[in-house]
């Protein structure tokens, strides 16, 4: 992998965003048992800026290893709002579109199942009504788990799911067979809710930034190296038009993006199967 961090550090567009992304990644993974190293978020941001400046001539792997080390020394922790934010977003979309009758939900790229369980709990669903799909070998607690295989369709009965959520995961799906599985598992009249990056194929700087953000998150939380991340987690970023074509024949019933600072070009979209 090329030195994306060095390039982004020199970019007028992504310089500040890079510091913010590093800071957020470290805040999410900081160890709570070490005290008096970095007192607050602003101080951490300043420290990260110094680290990046000092290491700006090094490879991405070297920089990631240093940042992972910094994460283990950082006592500042930030309560993660990711679960609440994504649960709230799903219910906002359901309310805005008038979509009801959700008796089953599948989360593609469910991870540890936290978001899936949060949405399912608000819907009053039993574990069998919450289907998690991921590549991880261990099944999340309290959901029905389907482990993805690179070449086989997902083991979810056609037309059995009312609502599918896909949070920044479509760009990691390597197989078109899996896209077909997602389309097939949704009942007629069912909905897919997607959170993704709007990344045109020719926007190489945005692709570099997204690679760095994903690599940072994986490195400081899981201890993987940059090379490990990009070997194990395939990424092919998609534009909004790409995803519209992916769900061709379905009705797009919702679209919203962020009006504030949004360097990752994240947006939400929902489609109903016709």
| 147 C-beta neighbours (distance < 10 Å), count | 14
**What average pLDDT does this structure show over 123-130?**
97
Helix (H) or strand (E) holding 271: strand 266-272
Residue 82: the pLDDT is 78
Name the residue among 229, 255, 231 with its Cα closest to residue 241.
255
Q: Helix, strand or coil for residue 263? A: coil
Q: Which residues contact 17 (CB under 8 A, 6 or more apart)?
A: 8, 209, 261, 263
- CB–CB of 143/124 below 8 Å? no
Q: Which residue has the tokens 């999340």?
A: 140
Do 112 and 162 sit in the same domain of this protein? yes
- CB–CB of 226/1 below 8 Å? yes
**What average pLDDT does this structure show over 161-190?**
95
Residue 28 to residue 38: CA distance in whole angstroms: 14
Do 103 and 190 sit in the same domain of this protein? yes
pLDDT of residue 1 exceeding 50, the answer is no
Do 179 and 263 sit in the same domain of this protein? yes
- CB–CB of 19/48 below 8 Å? yes
Do 75 and 14 sit in the same domain of this protein? yes
Do 128 and 99 sit in the same domain of this protein? yes
Do 75 and 166 sit in the same domain of this protein? no
Do 254 and 134 sit in the same domain of this protein? yes
Name the residue among 64, 69, 68, 57 with its Cα closest to residue 9.
57
Residue 174: the pLDDT is 82
| Most confident stretch, 37-51, 213-227, 230-244 | 230-244
How far does CA 68 lie from the centroid of its chain?
Answer: 19
Do 20 and 148 sit in the same domain of this protein? no
pLDDT of residue 8 exceeding 50, the answer is yes
Do 36 and 104 sit in the same domain of this protein? no
Q: Which domain holds residue 174?
A: 82-199+237-272
Question: 227-234 — which CB contacts under 8 Å span 24+ positions?
Answer: 227/1, 227/61, 230/1, 233/172, 234/172, 234/174
**What average pLDDT does this structure show over 72-85?**
65
- CB–CB of 160/147 below 8 Å? no
Q: Comparing 103-107, 156-160, 226-230, which segment has the lowest mean pLDDT?
A: 226-230
Residue 32: the pLDDT is 45
Domain CATH for 250: 3.40.50.150
Do 37 and 108 sit in the same domain of this protein? no
User: 77 vs 51, which has greater pLDDT?
Assistant: 51
As for how many domains the chain has, the answer is: 2
What is the DSSP code string of 167-231? ES-GGG---HHHHHHHHHHEEEEEEEEEEEE---TT-HHHHHHHHHHHHHHHHHHH---HHHHHH
In the predicted model, what is the mean pLDDT of the chain? 84
Which residues are registered as beta bridge partners of 105?
130, 163
Residue 273 to residue 187: CA distance in whole angstroms: 7
pTM: 0.83
Residue 217 to residue 224: CA distance in whole angstroms: 9
Do 162 and 221 sit in the same domain of this protein? no
| 204 C-beta neighbours (distance < 10 Å), count | 12
Do 125 and 216 sit in the same domain of this protein? no
Q: Helix, strand or coil for residue 8? A: helix
């Amino acid at each position: 992998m090329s030195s994306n961090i060095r390039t982004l550090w020199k970019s007028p567009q992504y310089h500040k965003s890079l510091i913010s992304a590093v800071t957020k990644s470290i805040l999410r993974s900081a160890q709570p048992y070490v005290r008096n190293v970095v007192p607050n978020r602003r101080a951490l941001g300043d420290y990260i800026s110094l680290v990046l400046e000092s290491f700006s001539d090094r490879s991405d792997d070297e920089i990631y290893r240093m940042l992972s080390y910094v994460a283990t020394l950082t006592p500042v922790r930030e309560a993660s709002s990711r679960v609440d934010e994504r649960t709230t977003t799903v219910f906002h979309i359901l309310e805005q579109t008038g979509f009801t009758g959700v008796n089953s939900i599948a989360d593609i790229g469910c991870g540890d199942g936290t978001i899936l369980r949060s949405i399912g709990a608000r819907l009053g669903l039993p574990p069998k009504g919450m289907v998690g799909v991921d590549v991880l070998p261990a099944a999340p607690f309290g959901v029905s788990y389907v482990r993805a295989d690179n070449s086989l369709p997902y083991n979810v009965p056609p037309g059995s799911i009312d609502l599918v959520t896909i949070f920044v995961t479509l760009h990691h799906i390597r197989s078109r067979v899996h896209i077909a599985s997602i389309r097939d598992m949704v009942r007629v009249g069912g909905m897919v809710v997607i959170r993704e990056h709007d990344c045109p194929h020719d926007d190489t700087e945005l692709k570099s930034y997204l690679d760095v953000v994903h690599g940072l998150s994986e490195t400081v939380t899981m201890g993987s190296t940059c090379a490990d991340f990009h070997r194990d987690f395939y990424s092919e970023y998609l534009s909004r038009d790409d995803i519209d074509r992916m769900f061709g024949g379905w009705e797009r019933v919702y679209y919203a993006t962020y009006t504030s600072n949004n360097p990752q070009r994240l947006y939400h979209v929902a489609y109903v199967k016709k």
